[in-house]
Amino acid sequence: MCWSVPGKIINIKGKTAEVEVSGIVKNISLDLLKEASRGDYVLVHAGYAIQKVDEADAKFTIEFFNNKGKNV
């Protein structure tokens, strides 16, 4: 099974983005997306942004993981 996690793009340089995932900033590739902008939420898997996601959905997933699935 593979997991992807939502992260927020905080900076873009070419086809590389700095993405914040649960307080950790990582550099990831944007090669799999047609377009992405600063402030977008994306699903991150194996160092790649694999798709853009709605902010509300991203925040729900982040909260779910932070609470280990409790109280959701």
Cα–Cα distance for residue pair 1/40, rounded to 1 Å: 26
pLDDT value of position 71: 60
Tens-digit pLDDT profile for residues 13-72? 999 999 998 899 999 999 999 999 999 999 999 999 999 999 999 999 888 888 876 665
Global pTM? Answer: 0.87
Q: Which two tokens stand for residue 31?
A: 């090669």
Can you give the pLDDT at residue 46?
Answer: 94
State the pLDDT at residue 70: 67
Q: Which residue in 5, 4, 3 sits closest to 62, CA to CA?
A: 5
Which residue ranges form the domains of the chain, and what is each CATH number? Answer: 5-66 (2.30.30.140)
